[in-house]
Amino acid sequence: MDWITAALSLCGYLITLALIPSILLKKNRHPISTVSWILTIILLPGLGGITYLFFGINRVQRRSLSKEKANQSLAPKLPQIVQNQLLSSEDYLPLNQNLMRLAQNIGHTVPTFGNHVELLTDTNRTLGLIKQAILNAEHSLHLEYYIWQPDQSGTLLRDLLIEKARAGVEVRFLYDGLGSFGLGKHFFKPMREAGIQIAPFLPGASIRERWSINLRNHRKIVIVDGKMAFTGGMNIGDEYLGLNQDLGFWRDTHLKIEGPETLQLQQVFAEDWFFATGEALTQQKYYPHPDPTGTITAQTLLSGPEKNADVFLTLMFAAINEARHSIVLTTSYFVPPESLTTALESAARRGVHVRLLLSSKSANPATVHAGRSYYDSLLDADVEIFEYTKGILHSKTLTIDDSWSLVGTPNFDFRSLILNFEVGLALYDRKFAQRLRESIEQDFLTAIKITHTDWDKRSKPTILLQNLCRLFAPVM
């Protein structure tokens, strides 16, 4: 029997190795991702092959192509969104002009002027404002979330949606099938009975969709009557309010938007809803005339595997290279492509003050170890690295020269920048950028600065663990 077992094991291993050519033949696969998958297959015989079959084969591309076809099918049916006149080009700094033009060319969205954008850094206040907006809704509520927990916070907000649906407000609820895996029939039953329309963006566990498990919708969007919107890093659940004792305080950044840019976010929801359900939200009532409510120029940006360009990766790379004075980055997952670390190091070496605020702990510790493997070269280039210690840092922001900002759902990692469906707002406004930077200055006070002297004292097992985790960064 021993020789039979050995023979079967050998056959299984050889079959697994036969997957390597399929990896090498994949068009436009990132080289680091290619190497990571090959190492996974070689070092984890059997398990590595199964993992690749579920996560690596580009069935993602097939699914993303259907998403792009859905977007193209819906586009001609959507009402023409009225755009408020932008200021003249002379009113924007060269930095903002360049990034605005790039974002428009790669993201295919246009900037709008006349927005009021409120920066939200307290998760309890953020949830309170979302609740108040829902209470004030008159005809429609559209919600799209990566994670919605069926705990006390999630249930209370659900019950508020039920109340509004019973009062005659149209409510649509779009959730990610994997991120919100805990939601089930019991949670949805009273919602359906109240008339709320519910759909998974992609199911998380169905047999039919088992190959789409690697394709996730990481967006968080709330749109109220087509006039007010919320987006940013915060999901719905007790832990995001700091109520989980194991995780502790939760630091996140969210936005409340009023003005013409709200309609861009409404269109994002409409595209995702159409993909998930086939229902086209084309009625004019969902796209009211966007009266100016402020003075901020903003631009909604989307990324996903159906896009021809890695939108956030390209924009972040360009923004970092455009910087002349300062760069402040916050992210919960720091496992960046080499192009971005090189850009950060180059900026620091040409005299730009580069500061990174990163999380010191995570629900996925391997990502923290992988992120730390990048510290050596960054510190060599005089990039300042801080690790947040007050609790969980979940904020995703980038500020350049106190003039340009990016706030949204994408982390500074492979999955967000290359694979996930993400959304964010580019804000071309000096006052907003300064407010964002000032809020982060408070976070630096509760963070530990990583110095080269202390970093060089790491043990060899620690260095080994960090570098090993880095090898698998693209598949985390």
Catalytic-labelled residue, pool 176, 225, 310, 443? 225
Write the pLDDT tens digit of every residue in 267-305.
999 999 999 999 999 999 999 988 889 999 999 999 987
If asked whether residues 239 and 282 sit together in one domain, one would say yes
Domain extent for 455:
311-475
If asked whether residues 336 and 201 sit together in one domain, one would say no
Residue 64 covered by a domain: no
Write the pLDDT tens digit of every residue in 9-25.
555 555 555 554 554 44
Query: Which of 296, 325, 357 marks a domain boundary?
Result: 296
If asked whether residues 50 and 137 sit together in one domain, one would say no
Q: How many CA atoms lie within 13 A of 262 on its CB side?
A: 30
Residue 71 covered by a domain: no
If asked whether residues 264 and 401 sit together in one domain, one would say no
If asked whether residues 270 and 338 sit together in one domain, one would say no
Residue 304 covered by a domain: no
Catalytic-labelled residue, pool 67, 227, 369, 396? 396
If asked whether residues 321 and 445 sit together in one domain, one would say yes
If asked whether residues 28 and 134 sit together in one domain, one would say no
| Residue of 325, 295, 328, 317 lying closest to 443 (CA atoms) | 328
Residue 302 covered by a domain: no
Split into its structural domains, the chain has a count of: 3
Residue 164 falls in the annotated catalytic set: no
Catalytic-labelled residue, pool 176, 310, 401, 443? 401
Residue 318 covered by a domain: yes
Catalytic-labelled residue, pool 142, 164, 220, 369? 220
Question: What's the pLDDT at 247?
Answer: 87
Catalytic-labelled residue, pool 67, 164, 218, 256? 218
Q: Average the pLDDT over 394-402 and give the result.
A: 98
Question: What's the pLDDT at 418?
Answer: 85
Per the model's pLDDT, the better-predicted residue between 230 and 109 turns out to be: 230
Residue 394 falls in the annotated catalytic set: yes
Report the chain's terminal Cα–Cα distance, integer Å: 37
Residue 40 covered by a domain: yes
Query: Which of 248, 269, 296 marks a domain boundary?
Result: 296
Residue 396 falls in the annotated catalytic set: yes
Write the pLDDT tens digit of every residue in 121-162.
999 999 999 999 999 999 999 999 999 999 999 999 999 999
User: pLDDT > 90: what percent of the chain?
Assistant: 66
Residue 122 falls in the annotated catalytic set: no
Residue 332 covered by a domain: yes
Query: Which of 239, 273, 296 marks a domain boundary?
Result: 296
Q: How far apart are CA 223 and CA 135, in angstroms?
A: 13
Question: What's the pLDDT at 365?
Answer: 86
Q: How far is CA 26 from CA 22, 61, 102, in A?
A: 6, 11, 28
The CATH number of the domain holding residue 408 is 3.30.870.10
pTM over 0.85: yes
Catalytic-labelled residue, pool 164, 254, 256, 394? 394
Strands (E), 360-400: 384-388, 391-393, 397-400
Residue 208 makes CB contacts below 8 A (sequence gap 6+) with none
If asked whether residues 322 and 378 sit together in one domain, one would say yes
Residue 272 falls in the annotated catalytic set: no
Q: How far apart are CA 331 and CA 334, in angstroms?
A: 6
User: pLDDT > 70: what percent of the chain?
Assistant: 78
Residue 401 falls in the annotated catalytic set: yes
If asked whether residues 18 and 129 sit together in one domain, one would say no
Write the pLDDT tens digit of every residue in 84-93.
555 555 567 7
